[in-house]
């Protein structure tokens, strides 16, 4: 293989690894509210992925984190589709990048542009729906298109008005957060009650809004700041500054710590002022958001697939601390990966006491040259798991020796291997008890088979007394078996048996994800299950057949084929079949699919404006999307059709100036009715 081909191969593998990592981290952050890496770590990995994709745009797939607005949804609440997407925000990490953003905007829309600078609140994004001034629904951001209905919990926030002072009908966006003093008091109460304290106010706020019992949500004493809205003909400010005025006049809470700036010098001065006073604020912020102030300019600049081109978030530098490495723990994951963690002298970092920090892999250990008793710098940017970022070599003792890298598994003693192209050490013993525990814990987890009440400790107990050896054994457990477990009475055993029984009817994608096949995340499992519709078809699929799915690349296809080539995998699936586990997806409506493929609207970008007689705007949007259209909130050169009802506003004028095709309601209805015949 030539050097260029080998370099491309390694870079392609790195791209696939980054996509898998970032999707998993995003799931943990947005869905579980249990982040496992810092914001800065995530941003670095995200930027590395963007760099590779910019160099090789032909490698970009729809499952890449760079191609999506957001990430996965939590379960337990009804889904709610937003009237317009809740976009992510592009990031800037230094003033040069902020200056480049301002220069680009000014070049595109002219010198008559100003910028609204706002604090970036570290909380949970929310979407509030008001109809004629009444609060009717509240939702999380979710994946940007669809969120979770948390209306009952949001109603407990006293600063959220249930009735506005004006009869506004629109969606208002903002951030729910927990004040610092409330957070401190809450953790003191949890300490006294013997409960685990929350890692930071953001996690406490997010957890509060996902409580099933609204009384528990009320006990969190959350607050809100609101800063955006879905504009319509009855609510259309001319600027971000005017929006804030309108929100306040309607009785909605906004953050007064904001400023309209005219140039980069004023923006930089605002950022420095806010950062200097950051620790004194009663709430947590992690940066400053800079938005084009004029709405007309915002609409002219438009959006990428995931971020507005008219806004950017300047991220503050992560807090760092110095401490000493006492030891290194080596732990075994479900795929046999050995992960090193530094054990350190306790130190204060970003409001918490830190004693452990991730070292990720042996390559990082060698790159940093981390050794026992080294003085190191760590950071975490308000996250749960800190990271070692550097070693203070000048403070190292002369007798120091390089860290000893293990050659055998710390759990089962088997020899460790490092596969070509991987940074990880692996235990390849399929009977390793640590792997079996991690694999089974993954299988029963919420996004896999979701067996409620079966946690890692109970699985560990089952393994210890040989009740189970693999995941299939779970479905053959009896009441007598479960009563052998520590602290298990008949009532709890019966609940667990019911939960196991209920999991048998789960969707095929949950089972496929739960098997723990390397590189097969939840998104990949969904794509594959929807295409092949049965486990037998998936097991028989070739790499080429798998790779016809948009979003499934060689790494995933090879992993799936290799997994099902093993006789042990066939035995496991057969035992699950015999236990009555669902192995098929319901068939799609082939007629509807054929109609979609022939649809006039497929992949057309459509904008709705004005009032319609037959359908409300959300109803019309849903119909168009059902036929494959992309419905956006603003007119641009990429807009294919503007559908204008009565009293159409500025979008109509903008469409005319851009020579976008304009339809009235009658034309729209004619095409829809023709498509439904």
Q: Residues with catalytic annotation?
A: 120
Residue 70, phi then psi, degrees to nearest 5: -155, -155
Place of tokens 């052998």: 484
Q: How far apart are CA 525 and CA 272, in angstroms?
A: 46
| CA dist., res. 11 & res. 337, Å (int) | 21
Instruction: Give me the residue label for tokens 């799609």.
Output: 588
Please tell me the total number of residues recorded for the chain in this structure.
677
Burial tier of 220 (Cβ tally within 10 Å: 0-12, 13-18, 19+): buried
What is the dihedral sign for C-alpha 43, 33, 285, 154?
A: positive
Phi, psi angle pair for 133, to nearest 5°: 85, -5
Name every residue whose Cβ is closer than 8 Å to that of residue 310 and which is 6 or more positions away in sequence: 105, 291, 292, 297, 298, 301, 302
- Six token digits for residue 161: 């008005």
The SS3 call for residue 465 is coil
Task: Give the phi and the psi of residue 134 in degrees, each rounded to 5.
Answer: -105, 135
Query: Which run of H or E residues covers position 311?
Result: strand 311-315
Contacts of 55 (CB under 8 A, 6+ apart): 11
- Whether the CB-CB separation of 178 and 208 falls below 8 Å is answered with yes
CA distance 481 to 466: 10
List C-alpha distances in Å: 656 to 76, 237, 607, 644.
Answer: 45, 21, 13, 11
Q: How many CB atoms lie within 10 A of CB 73?
A: 18
What are residue 118's DSSP bridge partners? 258, 289
Packed helices 554-565 and 567-578: angle between N→C axes, nearest 10 degrees: 80
| Enclosing H/E stretch for 668 | helix 665-676
Q: Which residue in the block uniquely carries the two structure tokens 């600049």?
A: 301
In sequence order, what are the residues at sequence separation of 6 or more whose Cβ sits closer than 8 angstroms to the Cβ of residue 282? 179, 180, 181
Cα separation of 338 and 332, whole Å?
A: 5
User: β-pairing, 258-261 with 115-121?
Assistant: antiparallel
């Amino acid at each position: 293989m030539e050097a260029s081909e080998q370099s491309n191969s390694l870079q392609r593998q790195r791209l696939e690894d980054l996509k898998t990592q970032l999707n998993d981290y995003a799931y943990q952050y947005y869905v579980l509210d249990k982040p496992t890496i810092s914001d800065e770590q995530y941003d670095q990995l995200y930027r590395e992925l963007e760099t590779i994709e910019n160099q090789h745009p032909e490698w970009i797939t729809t499952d890449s984190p760079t191609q999506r607005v957001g990430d996965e949804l939590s379960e337990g609440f009804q889904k709610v589709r937003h009237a317009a997407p809740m976009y992510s925000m592009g990031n800037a990490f230094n003033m040069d990048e902020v200056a480049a953003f301002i220069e680009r905007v000014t070049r595109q829309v002219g010198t008559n542009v100003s910028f609204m600078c706002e604090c970036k609140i570290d909380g949970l994004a929310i979407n509030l729906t008001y109809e004629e001034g009444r609060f009717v629904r509240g939702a999380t951001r979710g994946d940007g298109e669809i969120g979770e209905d948390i209306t009952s919990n949001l109603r407990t926030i006293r600063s959220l008005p249930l009735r506005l002072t004006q009869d506004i009908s629109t969606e208002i966006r903002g951030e729910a957060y927990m004040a610092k003093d409330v957070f401190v008091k809450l953790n003191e109460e949890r300490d006294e009650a013997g409960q685990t304290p929350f890692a930071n106010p953001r996690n406490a706020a997010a957890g509060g809004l996902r409580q099933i019992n609204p009384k528990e949500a009320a006990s969190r004493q959350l607050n809100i700041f609101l800063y955006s809205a879905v504009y319509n003909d009855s609510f259309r400010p001319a600027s971000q500054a005017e929006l804030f005025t309108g929100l306040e006049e309607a009785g909605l809470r906004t953050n007064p710590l904001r400023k309209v700036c005219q140039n980069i010098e004023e923006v930089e001065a605002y950022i420095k002022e806010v950062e200097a006073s950051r620790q004194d604020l009663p709430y947590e912020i992690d940066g400053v958001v800079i938005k084009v102030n004029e709405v007309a300019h915002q609409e002219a600049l438009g959006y990428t697939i995931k971020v507005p081109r008219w806004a950017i978030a300047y991220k503050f530098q992560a807090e760092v601390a110095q401490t000493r490495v006492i030891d290194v723990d080596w732990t075994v994951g479900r795929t046999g990966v050995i992960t090193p963690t530094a054990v350190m002298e306790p130190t204060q970092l970003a409001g918490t006491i830190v004693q452990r920090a991730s070292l990720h892999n042996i390559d990082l250990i060698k790159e940093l040259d981390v050794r026992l008793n080294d003085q190191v710098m760590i950071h975490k940017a308000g996250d749960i798991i800190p990271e070692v970022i550097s070693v203070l070599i000048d403070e190292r003792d002369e007798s120091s020796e390089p860290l000893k890298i293990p050659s055998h598994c710390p759990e089962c003693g088997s020899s460790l291997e490092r596969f070509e192209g991987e940074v990880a050490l692996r235990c390849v013993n399929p009977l390793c008890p640590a792997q079996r525990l991690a694999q089974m814990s993954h299988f029963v987890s919420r996004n896999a088979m979701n067996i409620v009440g079966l946690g890692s400790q109970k699985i560990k107990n089952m393994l210890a007394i040989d009740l189970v050896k693999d995941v299939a054994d779970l479905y053959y457990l009896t009441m007598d078996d479960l009563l052998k477990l520590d602290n298990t009475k008949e009532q709890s055993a019966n609940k667990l048996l019911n939960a196991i029984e209920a999991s048998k009817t789960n969707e095929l994608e949950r089972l496929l994800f739960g098997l723990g096949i390397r590189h097969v995340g939840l998104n990949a499992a969904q794509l594959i299950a929807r295409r092949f519709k049965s486990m037998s078809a998936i097991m028989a699929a070739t790499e080429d057949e798998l790779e016809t799915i948009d979003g499934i690349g060689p790494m995933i296809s090879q992993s799936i084929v290799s997994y099902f080539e093993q006789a042990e995998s066939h035995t496991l699936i057969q035992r699950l079949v015999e236990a009555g586990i669902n192995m098929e997806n319901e068939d799609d409506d082939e007629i509807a699919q054929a109609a979609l493929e022939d649809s006039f609207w497929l992949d057309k970008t459509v904008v709705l404006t004005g009032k319609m007689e037959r359908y409300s705007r959300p109803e019309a949007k849903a119909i168009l999307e059902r036929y494959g259209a992309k419905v956006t909130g603003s007119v641009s050169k990429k807009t294919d059709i503007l559908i204008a009802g009565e009293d159409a506003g500025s979008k109509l004028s903008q469409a005319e100036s851009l020579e976008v095709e304009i339809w009235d309601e009658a034309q729209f209805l004619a095409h829809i009715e023709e498509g439904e015949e």
